[in-house]
Amino acid sequence: MTKTDEKWLERIRLWKASGETAEAFAVGQPFKASTLKWRAAELRRAAEGGERYGKGQAVKGSIRLARVVSRARGGAPTQGGSVVVEVSGARISLSRGFDAELLTDVVRALGAVR
């Protein structure tokens, strides 16, 4: 286990012990709630013997192309600077201020389930 994993395990332990949501726990912390939840899932996956997706690592079935769809679900035009991205048959709706790191992780995960 790396020092980074140990640091995140401690953060996750404190988060779970607090009884707070990830969003509430992350306030004032040097990380986002989405990263906390992703790290918890990543470390749980590794503990169960699953494949880790780690930042910058290639995953089987890597995404070669993501298509931007001009209309949101139901055919309604997107609003407020939002955009819908289609990856491996899944549609992801994004709005201004989205978490780019989380999107990267989701795209990688979708690539692994082709």
Give the number of other Cβ atoms within 10 Å of residue 48's Cβ.
7
Distance of alpha carbon 31 from alpha carbon 39, whole angstroms: 11
- Within 13 Å, how many C-alpha atoms sit on residue 42's CB side? 22
Flag whether the pTM goes above 0.85.
no
Q: Which pLDDT score, from 0 to 100, does residue 46 have? A: 78
Helix (H) or strand (E) segment spanning residue 85: strand 83-87
Residue pLDDT, tens place only, 76-99: 544 566 777 777 677 778 787 777
Distance of alpha carbon 86 from alpha carbon 90, whole angstroms: 5
